[in-house]
């Protein structure tokens, strides 16, 4: 980060502080804009090169819960159909968001339109801003900050190099879809350490997204996530599903996943290869969820599925999962639509307890997102990129395990190695469970 900073203090005052904060940010760097203790109500903010936005202890940056407040902070990469963010930096070097203060967003109350009771989620508004998008930036620091109640993706880092995220706390509504915690999208040389993330959607997720008008964010490479605590109703530590470019040299280590749905996941859909991935020394607590959430209580899920015509999913190769402990109400599920698309998976030092959940939703495995839910057919029940009911009244992508739920299910996988692998199961086995702990078989329709 910058060695010598000119500091500009912005004290808290009643009313809209957007212009005052932005004027300080535009003063020319290297500059550190410090928001003092108290409430700072704001619309969209834009950071330039050699600029740090710092929140003192007791400072609250309260973003306005109005999509129109972010017309000036549009970005070049969409997420769930939205192209705006609360804090934006584009093409900037030496840019930072730091401090012991907090960012509040009022996302669940003001950016949802009711409940989807059958699916267990809120119904999100059509247009919702992300909290932060840094696109094409270099030498990025995000540290110490707390973020509450994001309406959409929380921290979105796109095509950035040399990123350090540490000590960040994110606490989002547990039923609000698409409120991913930290999204690392086509970035290189990233370290995420000591963060605490609690959210309805993915916790820490790597993507390689498509840009508005064509092109992709870039490859994801040399990413390290360590010492983090994650609670997620979707997948806590994840790669995909957006996978338009490749992923390589990815490490998740020394993390704890608690009160979550899926623990660890790799999802290939859009053509990019996933290679050289390691999950190490991770403690899991994976629980069933209603069908509105993808998956249900799996410790590990890896799947590849072609969801767009003419664009086969990229292969997943060279994945090591070691030193994983804890409990799951689902199974370990490895499914390749095309045989051999998942190759070279090693499971070693695995110590898990498999327990029945209260919902029974874990007795099927989940291949969403599929072709069916890219766009819901006219007149059909569902929500785009979330769920769609098939003609049989079952959510598309949910598939019954052949012969019941095992501890590990593998289909279309080559080069699978089980080293020190132990899953403790109930005796007697619950109804709908397979007597075989490890099963390879043909997927069966529900």
Q: What is the pLDDT of residue 373?
A: 79
Instruction: Give the dihedral of Cα atoms 14, 134, 164, 111; nearest 10 deg.
Output: 60
Residue 419's CB is within 10 A of a number of other CB atoms, namely 12
> Is 2.160.20.10 the CATH number for 6-440?
yes
In this structure, what token pair is assigned to residue 187?
């970035």
Residue 342 banded pLDDT, cuts 50, 70, 90: very high
Q: What is the pLDDT of residue 379?
A: 73
Q: What is the pLDDT of residue 204?
A: 98
Residue 212 banded pLDDT, cuts 50, 70, 90: confident
d(CA 194, CA 255): 9
- What is the mean pLDDT of the segment spanning 74-99? 96
Predicted confidence (pLDDT) at residue 220 exceeds the cutoff of 70: yes
Strand partners, 196: 169, 229
Q: What is the pLDDT of residue 130?
A: 98
d(CA 256, CA 263): 9
Q: Contact 2/23 with Cβ under 8 angstroms?
A: no
d(CA 181, CA 159): 17
d(CA 151, CA 124): 8
Strand partners, 138: 93, 161
Q: Is 263 left (phi over 0), alpha (psi -120 to 50) or beta?
A: alpha
Return the percent helix, strand and coil in the chain, to nearest 5: 5, 50, 45
**Pairwise pLDDT comparison (7 vs 118), residue with the higher score:** 7
- Percentage of the residues of the chain whose pLDDT score is greater than 90: 87
Considering the entire predicted model, what is its pTM?
Answer: 0.96
DSSP character string of 341-390: SEEEEEEESEEEEE---SS-GGGEEE--S-STTTSPPTT--EETTTEEB-
Radius of gyration of the chain (CA): 22
For the chain, domain boundaries: 6-440
Predicted confidence (pLDDT) at residue 442 exceeds the cutoff of 70: no
Dmax of the chain from CA atoms? 69
DSSP character string of 42-73: E--EE--TTEEEEE-TTEEEEE-S-GGGGGGG
In this structure, what token pair is assigned to residue 203?
């916790």
């Amino acid at each position: 980060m910058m060695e010598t900073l000119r500091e500009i203090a912005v004290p808290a005052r009643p009313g809209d502080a957007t212009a005052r904060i932005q004027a300080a940010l535009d003063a020319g760097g290297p500059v550190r804009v410090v928001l003092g203790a108290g409430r700072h109500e704001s619309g969209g903010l834009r950071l330039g090169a050699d600029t740090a936005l710092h929140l003192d202890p007791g400072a609250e940056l309260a973003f306005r819960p109005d999509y129109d407040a972010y017309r000036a902070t549009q970005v070049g990469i969409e997420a769930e159909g939205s192209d705006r963010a609360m804090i934006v930096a584009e093409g900037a070097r030496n840019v930072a968001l730091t401090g012991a203060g907090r960012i509040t967003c009022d996302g669940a109350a003001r950016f949802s339109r009711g409940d989807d009771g059958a699916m267990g989620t809120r119904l999100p508004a059509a247009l919702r801003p992300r909290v932060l998008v840094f696109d094409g930036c270099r030498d990025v620091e995000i540290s110490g900050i707390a973020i509450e109640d994001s309406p959409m993706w929380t921290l979105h880092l796109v095509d950035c190099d040399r990123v350090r995220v540490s000590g960040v706390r994110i606490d989002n509504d547990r039923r609000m879809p698409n409120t991913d915690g930290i999204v690392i999208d086509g970035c290189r040389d990233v370290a995420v350490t000591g963060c605490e993330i609690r959210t309805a959607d993915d916790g820490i997720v790597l993507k390689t997204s498509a840009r508005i008008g064509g092109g992709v964010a870039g490859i994801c490479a040399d990413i390290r996530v360590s010492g983090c605590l994650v609670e997620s109703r979707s997948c806590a530590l994840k790669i995909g599903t957006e996978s338009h470019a490749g992923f390589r040299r990815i490490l998740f280590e020394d993390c704890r996943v608690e009160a979550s749905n899926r623990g660890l996941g790799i999802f290939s859909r859009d053509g990019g290869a996933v290679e050289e991935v390691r999950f190490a020394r991770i403690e899991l607590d994976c629980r069933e969820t209603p069908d509105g959430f993808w998956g249900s209580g799996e410790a590990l899920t890896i799947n590849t599925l072609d969801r767009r015509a003419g664009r086969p999913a990229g292969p997943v190769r060279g994945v090591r999962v070691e030193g994983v402990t804890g409990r799951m109400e689902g199974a370990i599920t490895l499914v390749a639509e095309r045989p051999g698309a998942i190759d070279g998976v090693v499971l070693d030092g695995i110590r898990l307890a498999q327990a029945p959940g209260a919902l029974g939703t874990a007795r099927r495995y989940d291949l969403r997102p599929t072709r069916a839910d890219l766009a819901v057919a006219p007149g059909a029940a569902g929500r785009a990129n979330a769920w769609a009911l098939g003609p049989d009244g079952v959510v598309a992508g949910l598939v019954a395990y052949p012969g019941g739920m095992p501890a590990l299910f593998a289909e279309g996988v080559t080069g699978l190695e089980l080293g020190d692998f132990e899953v403790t199961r109930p005796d007697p086995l619950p109804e709908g469970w397979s007597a075989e702990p490890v099963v390879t078989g043909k997927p069966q329709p529900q």
